């Protein structure tokens, strides 16, 4: 992906120190505020930041942190991959064929607002307390944003691209591969990014009930087994940090030259 023009495009934007320093300052102020608030309140249950840090170190030493993170990521990977594999083709199909959209859209819009949490009893009934239950919940949570964004991507496609493609006499298959897919990719990637955030949100909730490993399990287990709030907050911090890393990773997809045109103002 080399570039004839070099500078002047969004990719060539210079690295900004302020984008590192400013968030670090905000985090430091937040930690200070947290620490002061706990000390003033005199709570001996809610942990101070350094106690949470010690909790994380303890989890690392016991080998639990890596084990739980891997368990959670494993479930997200499966549920999310299934959602992409089904949601993207399904959404493209519905976006392209009006009759399919008419047939399926009401069902999608009806299922979409049902929180994945509401599916937990059903998931347990169908899949027992196995990995399949949270995977199913993650799939449910992420398949709708992906499908809906793929539908919208096809429906919002510039008609001029289709007309140009028809003019060059493309077959249906060529039209899909050479025009529809690349034209919709930027918006599909945005849908995937949103869905991954939702998937990560749901895995933790699912693990609190259905299984006995993972970061969600860690939080509930630490609460139930001796009110270890330092470990509860440690689990929360890890969830947040991993969520941040996942988002940064998916954002890299938006930087390829083939899709950069779709994000004009970033």
Are 256 and 210 contacting, i.e. CB atoms less than 8 angstroms apart?
Answer: no
Shortest approach of other proteins to residue 159 CB, angstroms? 9
Shortest approach of other proteins to residue 86 CB, angstroms? 24
Task: Between 102 and 166, name the residue whose CB sits nearer to other proteins.
Answer: 166
CA torsion, ordered 187, 193, 195, 197, to nearest 10 deg: -150
Task: Between 133 and 183, name the residue whose CB sits nearer to other proteins.
Answer: 183
Residue 159 CA to residue 145 CA, distance in Å, equals 24
Binding mask 205-244 for other proteins (x = CB under 8 A): ----------------------------------------
Examine residue 92 and tell whether it contacts other proteins (CB under 8 A).
no
Among 29, 164, 241, 249, binds other proteins (CB under 8 A): 164
Q: Residue 186: which of 245, 94, 86, 265 has the closest Cα?
A: 265
Work out the number of other CB atoms within 10 angstroms of the CB of residue 132.
18
Task: Between 33 and 168, name the residue whose CB sits nearer to other proteins.
Answer: 168
Question: Which structure tokens are listed for 157?
Answer: 């496609």
Binding mask 1-20 for other proteins (x = CB under 8 A): -xxxx--xx-----------
Question: For tokens 């083939």, what's the residue?
Answer: 258
Residues touching other proteins, count (CB under 8 A): 28
Q: Which stretch binds other proteins (CB under 8 A): 24-32, 72-80, 90-98, 174-182?
A: 174-182
Give the distance, in angstroms, between the CA of residue 237 and the centroid of all CA atoms in the same chain: 17
Residue 75 CA to residue 199 CA, distance in Å, equals 9
Examine residue 167 and tell whether it contacts other proteins (CB under 8 A).
yes
Which helix (H) or strand (E) segment is 182 a member of? helix 181-210
Among 52, 140, 180, 185, binds other proteins (CB under 8 A): 185
Shortest approach of other proteins to residue 260 CB, angstroms? 7
Question: For tokens 């900004």, what's the residue?
Answer: 16
Exposed / middle / buried, residue 117 (Cβ in 10 Å: 0-12, 13-18, 19+): middle
Residue 216 CA to residue 226 CA, distance in Å, equals 17
Examine residue 97 and tell whether it contacts other proteins (CB under 8 A).
no
Examine residue 183 and tell whether it contacts other proteins (CB under 8 A).
yes
Q: Footprint of other proteins on this chain (CB under 8 A)?
A: 2-5, 8-9, 158, 160-161, 163-164, 166-169, 174, 178-179, 182-183, 185, 257-262, 264
């Amino acid at each position: 992906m080399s570039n004839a023009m070099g500078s002047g495009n969004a990719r060539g934007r210079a690295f900004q120190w302020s984008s590192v320093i400013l968030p670090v300052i905000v985090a430091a102020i937040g930690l200070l505020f947290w620490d002061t608030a706990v000390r003033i309140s005199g709570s001996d249950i809610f942990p101070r930041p350094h106690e949470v840090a010690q909790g994380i170190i303890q989890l690392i030493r016991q080998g639990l942190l890596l084990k739980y993170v891997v368990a959670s990521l494993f479930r997200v990977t499966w549920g999310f991959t299934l959602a992409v594999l089904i949601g993207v083709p399904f959404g493209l199909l519905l976006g392209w064929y009006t009759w399919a959209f008419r047939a399926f859209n009401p069902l999608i819009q009806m299922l979409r607002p049902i929180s994945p949490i509401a599916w937990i009893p059903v998931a347990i009934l169908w899949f027992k307390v196995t990995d399949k239950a949270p995977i199913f919940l993650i799939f449910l949570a992420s398949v709708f944003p992906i499908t809906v964004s793929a539908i919208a991507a096809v429906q919002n496609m510039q008609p001029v691209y289709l007309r140009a493609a028809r003019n060059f006499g493309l077959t249906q298959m060529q039209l899909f591969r050479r025009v529809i897919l690349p034209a919709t990719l930027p918006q599909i990637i945005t849908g995937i990014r949103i869905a991954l955030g939702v998937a990560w949100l749901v895995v933790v909730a699912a693990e609190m009930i259905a299984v006995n490993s993972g970061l969600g399990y860690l939080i509930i287990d630490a609460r139930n087994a001796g009110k270890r709030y330092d470990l509860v907050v440690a689990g929360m911090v890890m969830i947040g940090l991993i969520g941040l890393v996942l988002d940064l990773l998916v954002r890299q997809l938006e930087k390829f030259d083939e899709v950069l045109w779709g994000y004009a103002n970033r």
